[in-house]
Chain A
Amino acid sequence: MEMSVFNIGLQFSQEPSGRYYSDTNKRSGEAFREEFLRKELEALQPDEKITFIMDDGVEGYGSSFLTEGFAGIVKYGYMQASEFKRKIEFQYSDSDFKFYADKIIQYISEAQFNSKKYVPTKPKTK
């Protein structure tokens, strides 16, 4: 099985925080989902997985970021929870980050598929 890797600390932000663009702009969960995660998932082959490196330069995550960033994929109807869970894996050198990986799986499992219409909060660029 092929494997794609996404280093959150290096490729996204070392300080991921907030839910929407309106909160923390480029570091928010919404920004992570819309600008990175969706594109990565769409680029995956049918039997391919993506591995997220969780703790490279990142101190920690908030529930709001994880819910919006990962569970938003299911909530806004981009992918079914079971399929999404099959396609993602987590990697960390600090065992404490297992907690965040478990929380992501929990949020994805609890999310209702396509239960909310996505309304972007990204400020329009002039």
Chain B
Amino acid sequence: MRADLNCISIGSNNQTIACDNATGDFSLQSAFAFEPIPHIQAIEELSSSFDQQNFLISQVQQFSDLTNKLNFTIDRQTELMVHGKSLITTLESVNDTLSSTPKGSLSEVIIGALFSVIAAFTFNLIYWYLVDKKKKLSSSIARLNTVLDAFEKTATEYWYFSYHIRHSKSNKIKEMKMKAEHRILRQSKSEIVKLIHRKKTKTEVDAELTELLSSLFDSATGGDFESSERKEDLKRVGEIIKICTQIRMITAGLNT
């Protein structure tokens, strides 16, 4: 039996008679069966449609991403092309400058080159001339100081002791040494003055050294020089040491 109700049928009730093998009793069994409903099918279709739509949306999104990336790449390439063109223009300009011949005639170019060579040569010549002069000056000053040391030692020893007949020979040697060494000092002074570069310094140093050497001559070979009556003269010893030191100070100033 099937009940008809004023409602939406969602299924059917199937009844069957069953006989128990043991007891032999009969029984009525009902089984309810669902039937497909159009609404549910619609919902399923709608759901399926949503799934498809979602899939399409994701596809569109991916496509949009790809488009953006492509645009970025195209922009970069355009920018690089612009820079490349600028670089090529610059390189062409450099190439033109380097490969082109100088303006002016060939003779002007040769004269210019020749002048540069002469200028470089002259500068080199002057530089080494000055270096050589400086070395010679140092050498001459060293020679003067060596002779000055010897003169100072001889003169101070000579005047520190009175004349004694027992030392007459050594005294004679000292007298001859003092005269000879003073001559060498004067010659060394002339060499040094010649090697001084600045005219003002040359004049000043010449005047100062000439004056000092003149005073040294008076002190060392004056008084009872070469006399058998000579007494020790400590004042004269002091003068000789003082003058020698003044000469050393002047030459030291030149050597710096």
**A-side interface residues toward B, CB under 8 Å?**
17-20, 22-24, 59-65, 67, 96, 99, 103, 106
Contacts and interface: CB of A to CB of B under 8 A. Distances in A.
B183 interface: yes
B172 to A, nearest CB: 9
Given A96-B186, A99-B186, A59 B179 contact: yes
A64 B227 CA distance: 9
B84 to A, nearest CB: 81
Interface of B: 175-176, 179-180, 182-183, 186-187, 214, 217-218, 220-229
Nearest to A62: B221
30 contacts: A17-B226, A18-B225, A18-B227, A19-B226, A19-B227, A22-B229, A23-B226, A23-B229, A24-B226, A59-B176, A59-B180, A60-B182, A60-B183, A61-B179, A62-B179, A62-B222, A62-B225, A62-B226, A63-B217, A63-B220, A63-B222, A63-B225, A64-B221, A64-B222, A64-B225, A65-B226, A67-B222, A96-B183, A96-B186, A99-B214
Nearest to B184: A96
A53 B193 CA distance: 27
A64 B182 contact: no
Contact of A64 (B183, B187, B223): B223
B209 to A, nearest CB: 12
A103 B187 CA distance: 16
A63 B229 contact: no
User: Which of B186, B187, B218, B220 gathers most chain A CB within 10 Å?
Assistant: B218
A110 to B, nearest CB: 10
B227 A103 contact: no
A22 B186 contact: no
B69 to A, nearest CB: 99
Contacts of A18: 225-227
Contacts of B218: 63
A67 B225 CA distance: 11
Contacts of A19: 224-227
A61 B186 CA distance: 14
Given A17-B226, A19-B224, A24-B226, A60 B187 contact: no
